[in-house]
Structure 1
Amino acid sequence: MEKLLHFAVHFLFGDGTMSGEPVPLIFLNCSSIFIFGKDEKYAACPIENGTDPCYLLREVHRAKEFRTYFLAILPIILSVIACILNFGYLIAQLKCFSQEKTSFKKRQVFLISRSLSIILANLLFYVVVIVWKANGFMYTSAMIFILIGGINFLSVTGTYIGLTILLYTAIAHQFWYMTKLTLTHCWLIIGLIWILSTASSVCIGLWGATLFYPESAPISCSFEKCQQPLAIIIVVGLSICYGTVIGLYIAMMARLHRLVRKSSLVQSRSKSNSMTAMKRLGLNMITFAVGSVPILVVCIVALANLRELSSLGEGCKSPCKTFLHSSLFVEVEILASVAAIVWIIAMIIDPVINILADKKLRGLFSKQITRVSQRLRRASTKSTISTDDQ
């Protein structure tokens, strides 16, 4: 009877067999999406009554597609673009830094810190991809992923807060800015921002990964006493950091506009340059706001579905676990993909805004592109000549 059934499936669907191998009985209704050599391992999984195995199989395929294209290939391509742009922007900044006066160098060091943070985040992102491809997504890779996001988010947040206060001081309290605030103070502030960001991110990474892999984590963390309160603290903390950056900039700009109306505050050239820098910072704030909102939304959604998402890390990793929880895996892949892609796009937009808004940086960056293109042309010409001679 079973052989007759397999023959009927092969006759009706045409793709029901491949290399003489029949489609498992539970997947007869979806033989067109069944992948031979890969999906046989799901046939013996214990499915609950009323659950459609074809639905679970489709969700498994969706999760793998999201994982391949939107969590690996597309983010890597965007990350390469972001790394190139920010590396070129960093070189241009360093050249400008050596030529600027001390008063302008104070602002420049914060911009250099931001570029270093973005480049470091991109390099560590490649480490995550390598660890993920080598061992799959587990506690270690999840911890590194959260650690990278935390360092980048907190360091950039601290940089924007420091830069906003610095520019406000340069405009509203110019004497104190020129005489009391030195370049050494700025470097110390940046060092403090990096120390606090790294320490906080290590804690967030170590404890945050336990939310998704509680059993494999080296730290014991139950759902009611640890996971849920920890997730609330992380989401609230990120929201406070986000709101502080935006709120502080809005408050500073409102204060400056009131000062400008009451006095001839923006008469000198240095003050005019500082106001231009504040407006340019406003564009960066928009990028920061747009790029961070999806990350906060992802965190809030993950918090709302924490009980279900944390169940993915319970028990040993197996094909049946992936198959039976395929819909949850799709949700995780979508959340992680959206956060990663929007995060990297913001890294691309940020240097573009600064390069286009600064005439000096724009000139240096264009010269760098010209030199690189000329070197590539010379190298290709030499290789062509050597090939012709041979």
Structure 2
Amino acid sequence: MTHQPASIFANCSRYYGELEDVFQVCVNSTNPCQSMERIETAITISNVDYYSSLVLFSIAGLMNIYCLFVLLPLYRKLQNDSKKKYIFLITRCIAGLLAACAWLLIQCIYLKSIAPANGIVPGYVLALVLYIGSIYVLLGSYVSMAGILYLGVLKPIIFNQYLTLQVVYIAVCIIFFIAIVLSIPLAIFQASIAIPVSIKCTDKSCNPLVTLIHFFLVTGSLVITNIILSFVLISLLRHRKVFMKLDTESNASLNSAIRLLAWTLFAVILISIGEVIPFVFMEIRRHAGTITGCYWFYHASEIISEASFALIESSIWSVALIMDPLINVILDKTVSRQAKNQVRSMKNQCFRLAQTITGHFSRKKKIEEEKEVCQEQTTQTELIFPPRPEQLINI
């Protein structure tokens, strides 16, 4: 008769379900009950991250679609000089929509519902391409819009004579081209790190190089974007201080541009925090050595930290992607006026539709009432003037 070893969770106050079977082999834990409680806490944080991401990134996608719904009709009616600025607002909304879709694919569909399989999963690679590409398109549109504002206010001759609409279109194409060129190889190699594929990318081969390249590209792009936006914002603030009393109408437009640029800088700072800090934390943890299931059980508090960082990262991104199109609509007077006109038009259409529906039913009701009145009059006539005997005989 074989002797069954006692469970390491025998002294715990409650049963932890299937988790006990997973970590039963981790017999070197000094306090297995506390470790299990921390692991359950990390699972709870991960579930909060999943469901909040599902809701918030869906809202972010809808907000960017609404921003495009407002901007595209407005863009067709603008003059060429005005189109130079608003093309990058449209680019921002497209990038925000792609980023929201990428987050939903990676975090809420792939990682939650589909286990990594052998070979490159096309959906996972596509999500990574959308995610990485949207970052560069978003940053490129931020920098380009800041450049448009700088040239339009401080260098009007260059803005009017040399910066044509065709040049702006070429700049947009270059932004998307660079984003595609950078995102596709990085996405493939990052997928090969997470999933066993024919392209071997292990800790001893390409993994450190790919991680380093991606880190320097993203960090460098964020730093350059922050520097350019800060420079343009300071330049516009100084310009407003000098010419504050000269032209009230121009000052109003300048104030709107400064507010929009200030929000853009704040959004980039948020994205920088959401990208760099979790990335650095995860890299430090990865270089700590070989990590097994029992390692996480013995250091369960670190699982809570990683789950919390993942929640913070997704929350920062979702807030930035929700607020960015909303701020674009609110702070820009032309866009805000277009949104109000669309809301007013929708209200009028709904009112006319309601009038049409109620008018149809009221006419139908009126006809039925007229029929009832006619029937009542006929009945009263027959009661007052009964038919003659010869009429009855004929009947």
Q: TM-score range by the shorter chain?
A: 0.7 to 0.9
Relative distance call for 1:275 and 1:182 in structure 2 (3 A) is farther
Q: Deviation string for 1:35-75 (max 9, x for gaps)? A: 3xx335326x42142443323422332232222221x1101
Counterparts in 2 of 1:143 and 1:167: CA distance versus 1, 3 Å: same
> Residue 340 of structure 1 corresponds to which residue in structure 2?
314
Mapping 1:3-22, distance limit 5 Å? none
Residue 99 and residue 49 in structure 1: after superposition, are their counterparts in 2 closer, same or farther (change >3 A)?
same
Conservation of the 8 A alpha-carbon contact between 2:260 and 2:331: yes
What corresponds to 1:349 in structure 2?
323
3-state SS of the aligned residue for 2:8? helix
- With normalisation by structure 2, the TM-score equals 0.74
Deviation at 1:267, TM superposition (A): 5.3
| Residue number in structure 2 paired with 1:193 | 175
Give, in whole Å, the separation in 1 of the partners of 2:241 and 2:258: 17
TM superposition shift of 1:377: 12
Q: How does 1:1-390 map to 2 (within 5 A)?
A: 25-32=7-14, 34-35=16-17, 38-39=18-19, 41-42=21-22, 45-70=24-49, 72-128=50-106, 129-136=108-115, 140=121, 146-210=128-192, 213=194, 216-256=196-236, 273=253, 276-308=256-288, 311=291, 329-369=303-343, 371=346
Gap change, CA 1:271 and 1:173, over 3 Å in 2: farther
Q: Which residue of 1 aligns with 2:371?
A: none
Query: Structure 1 residues 329, 276: closer, same or farther in 2, change over 3 A?
Result: same
CA contact (8 A) 1:56 1:326 kept: yes
Whole-angstrom CA distance in 2 between matches of 1:309 and 1:115: 41
In 1, are the aligned partners of 2:96 and 2:321 still within 8 Å (CA)?
Answer: yes
| Conserved 8 A contact 1:147-1:205 | yes
Q: TM-score, normalised by structure 1?
A: 0.75
Report the CA distance between 1:203 and its aligned residue.
2.6
| 2:29 and 2:298 in contact (8 A); partners too | no
8 Å CA contact retained: 1:113, 1:159: yes
- The amino acid that maps onto 1:99 is K
Given residue 66 of structure 2, which amino acid in structure 1 is its aligned partner? Answer: G
Gaps of 5+ in 2: 362-395
Q: Which amino acid aligns with 2:279?
A: C
The change in CA–CA distance for 1:143 and 1:323 in structure 2 (over 3 A counts) is farther
| Aligned-pair CA distance for 1:331 | 4.0
Q: Quote the residue 2:364 is aligned against.
A: none
2:378 is matched with none
Query: Residue 182 of structure 1 aligns to which amino acid in structure 2?
Result: T
Contact 1:107 1:167 in 2 (8 A): yes
Question: Is the contact between residue 121 and residue 152 of structure 1 (CA under 8 Å) also seen in structure 2?
Answer: yes
Shift of 1:367: 4.9
- Note closer, same or farther for the CA distance 1:265–1:183 as it changes in structure 2 (3 Å cut): farther
Larger Rg: 2
Task: Report the Cα distance in structure 2 between the residues aligned to 1:222 and 1:158, rounded to whole angstroms.
Answer: 32
Cα offset for 1:357? 1.2
